[in-house]
Amino acid sequence: MFSRVAVIIRTKDRGRLLGRALDSVLAQTYTDWLIVLVNDGGSRAQVDEALEPRIADIGDRLLRLDNQTSLGMEAASNLGIRAVDSEFIVVHDDDDEWAPEFLAITVAHLEQHPGDGGVSVETEIVYERLTAEGRDIEDRIIFEPDLREITLVDLLHYNRFVPISFLFRRSVYNELGGFDENLPVVGDWEFHLRFLVHHHIGLIKGRPLAFWNQRRSALSSEANSFIARTEEHQLFSLKIRDRLVREHAREFGLGPLLYQRELLAVETGRLHHRLEEISRQQSEGTEQLTRLVGDVEQIQRNVRAASQPLPLRALRSVRRRLRERGERQRSLDLHASRQHAVVHSPASLGKEQRVAVFGDVGQHEYHVGDEAMTHAAIAALRKRGYENFVVLTHDVGQTSGLYGLPAAPRPEVPWNPFERHQLLQEVKHLLDGGPATERAADVVRTFQDAFSGCSTLLLAGGGNLTSQYGGLLFERLAAIRVAHSMGLKVVVSGQTVGPVLTGPDRAEAAEALRLCNVVGSRERHTHDLLTSMDVESVLVLDDAAFLAQGVGLDASALPPSGYIAATFAPGSGAMPRNDYHRHMARLLDLAYEQLQLPILLLPHVSTFGAQDGDQECHAAIARLSTAPDVRVLDQRPAEETAALTANAELVISSRYHPVVFGLSAGVPVLPVAVDYYGEVRIGGALESWGLRRLLRSLRHLGDGDDAKWVNSVIGQRAGIREHLQHQGKTLNAFHEGWWDAVTAVLDAGSTPGPLTPLPLVDSNPSLILEQAESPEATRLNASNEIAIGNLAQHTEWLQGELNQVAARPDGLRGSIAGITSSGQKLLSGTPLQAAAERFRTRISR
């Protein structure tokens, strides 16, 4: 007996519900199905009664199994599934229903998506009350309305889809070994977890195709198990979680779990403290507003008593008209500038065009990575014949001196999420022709001045398109919009987007990036995120990947036998700073024991001539190291730092760009990520070279495996170097091709055709590189840190709103003071002067 779809219906003493379930299957437009009806120890008479009026329509598409005693839900499911040999399986609970198209649409999906192990559909919860005549519908709501993708990370919290909505392949069922018969409840959730570890599950949205019927007040056999057996559900949910955690600990140790627990405790505590502070400030703000309302009411009474409403109204009208005239004038000035800038010279698409380069340069603390990407972008365009640049910077004098190019200032922008979101709306409103606020006019005017005479805006690579660095994100989104309004081409190269990207930031970033001619994403995480945002991007390497090539060094100043290059950021994630210093010092000691080479600590971010930033962190680590030759170097320019890193025998780093410099030069690396943001960037760079398994995070250190990791990498350094050098030729050629494509955009002024994809570099099978943790644990940590990051941004947003509310009383008091002063002038010399004086005195109080 074979049909493509086996519909498994488990039932026990639910005769009137069973008939409805059978009708749901009979109504399907797709007819190649077989019902496997498992009566799990229930009344046979009730089953007979439900089947009798429908048996003619079902025909031979029924296999009935009657258990003498109840085996349990999961055992009943396994019994029914193993009794037939169908291609697809679905468990249809005896109290649920389908839309008539359910099977047709889900079967078609699995036919069209061979990579999906199963597919779920949008589901509606139907709250019903059974009556003698049938049922009364109490309510209908969509189950998980915000679900856009079925992921293991989401399911770790709770089950996001139910059996009635899920069609899956028998091959996956056989692979997983079926449902766990030891679970009296939550067996479907446990099965779904195992399913997602190995296979993707598709999701069909649009309209409900499955109906999960629930009876909140039903008793006995007609009750829903998760309602009637709530405590049992909670107990076995805990048992499943405990079992899986113990399995993970046996394989990977307790270190990652302890780290994640501490991370959540530290960050949650910090956020609770912030929220309490905001609540206190909100209470104080409410009290201030209450007092202010009383003041305003008193003013109104005094003004009425002074019997002079017309002059005051006239004064307010004049002030409003002056303000509106100022806004209109600023808009007209900016519109004129914008319209003028759209006109290009005849050579604007050739090599003579002027290119505005926007990198995060000119910071108070010199940042090797940001400067390196800007250097590399300019060098790549110069190699292709472009010489006319202007560099946007925080420090015009410093950047002009370092680059030998004209520089233009960047606008001052807020970092608070609420404030920058408001300002971006004002900028967009202005660019759309609306009236200008002064601060929006300043932002637009600053960018227009910088882009004057330019034909292209190039956003050099970086990791600033994230809510974590909201001010830098705002700058880039505003710059893209101003450049687009002026008719410039916009190229975005080598970016990391996210991983923390709040709802408002995600929407604004997607809208702005769609205006660009071409966007480069420097790791797969960013590429996939942009795809989900409906933004086309090209997977590329970091802009500065090959910056060190051709940079000369004074060999006489370097250790003749070679050296280890190390760079550590001061940030230590959730790990206490002293513990972080101790762990990094241990890595240096382990590396020295193996190689017996001097260690050069190369600062990545610090101030020239000062012992701050990385230099201060390096000094603390050097004091804890037992290696006999550890040298804390001063800050050096980007190109020299890249070359020093590229000429090392080994690179150890908790920062991103030292890893990038080492990989492209064929140097083995020991990379440590301090948080998920670092994991995305450093892990993405390693993945491009086929060495993702080299990555470790702080949560992996301290459990005894750090020595094993260091010894493994150093012991295989010859093989790693050979692997990197072999892949380097291919990746270097791809990198040059990317900049050729950028040149095509600059010359043609249009989006290029299909670009060559980043070569897929597989891990070298001859290298034995152990993974730090299971993919599931990595995804869980990612989910935790992204949630914490979003919560932190939400807290900052609330703080911004509170600051705005708190500022209103002062603003109103200032306006009142102005009105009072003007009123005194108007009333001067009149019989009401004394009343005005009393009015002023009361306001002062």
Residue ranges in the chain whose pLDDT is less than 50: 307-315, 318, 336-347, 809-816, 818-833, 835-836, 838-845
Q: How far apart are CA 202 and CA 151, in angstroms?
A: 10
Domain borders along the chain are: 5-223, 255-306+774-845, 354-539, 555-729
Of 389, 397, 367, nearest to 461 by C-alpha is 367
**What are the tens digits of pLDDT across the range 471-487?**
999 999 999 999 999 99
| Structure-token pair, residue 667 | 């140097």
Structure tokens at 259: 């780290």
Taking alpha carbons only, the member of 335, 333, 384, 334 closest to residue 355 is 384
The answer to whether the beta carbons of residues 28 and 98 sit under 8 Å apart is: yes
pLDDT at 356: 96
Q: Domain 5-223 maps to which CATH number in 3.90.550.10, 1.10.3720.10, 3.40.830.10, 3.30.230.70? A: 3.90.550.10
Cα–Cα separations (whole angstroms), residue 781 to 193, 283, 723 = 17, 36, 30
In CATH terms, are 5-223 and 354-539 the same topology? Answer: no
Q: What CATH class does 555-729 carry?
A: alpha beta
Burial of 550 (0-12, 13-18, 19+ CB in 10 A): exposed
DSSP secondary structure string for all residues of 217-283: T--GGGS-HHHHTHHHHHHHHHHHHHHHHHHHHHHH-SHHHHHHHHHHHHHHHHHHHHHHHHHHHHH
179: nearest Cα among 91, 267, 66: 91
List, in sequence order, every residue forming a beta bridge with 407; answer none if it has no partner. 391
Tens of pLDDT, residue by residue over 385-437, are 999 999 999 999 999 999 999 999 999 888 888 899 999 999 999 998 888 78
Q: Report the predicted TM-score, pTM, of the whole model to 2 decimal places.
A: 0.64
Q: In the chain, count of helices (H) and strands (E)?
A: 28, 27
**Which helix or strand (DSSP H or E) is residue 133 part of?**
none
Q: Say which DSSP state 700 is in.
A: G
Give the 3-state secondary structure of 162-199: CHHHEEEEHHHHHHHCCCCCCCCCCHHHHHHHHHHHHC
Cα separation, 496 vs 93, in Å, equals: 45
Q: What is the pLDDT of residue 220?
A: 57
Task: List residues bridging with 210 in a β-sheet.
Answer: 98, 123
Q: What is the pLDDT of residue 245?
A: 78
**pLDDT, tens digit (0-9, with 9 covering 90-100), for 443-456:** 999 999 999 999 99
pLDDT of residue 700: 83
DSSP classification of residue 716: T
Q: Which long-range contacts (CB under 8 A, 24 or more apart) does 587-590 make?
A: 587/652, 587/670, 587/672, 587/701, 587/706, 587/710, 588/564, 588/621, 588/625, 588/627, 588/630, 588/652, 589/625, 589/626, 589/627, 590/706, 590/707, 590/710, 590/711
Is the backbone peptide bond immediately before 504 cis, with ω within 30 degrees of 0? no
Secondary structure element (H or E) that encloses residue 125, with its range = strand 123-130
Instruction: State both tokens at 652.
Output: 């150890």
Instruction: Give the model's pLDDT for residue 226.
Output: 53
Under CATH, which number does the domain 354-539 receive? 3.40.50.2000
Rounded to whole angstroms, the Cα distance separating 629 from 566 reads 13
| Two tokens, residue 606 | 């610090």
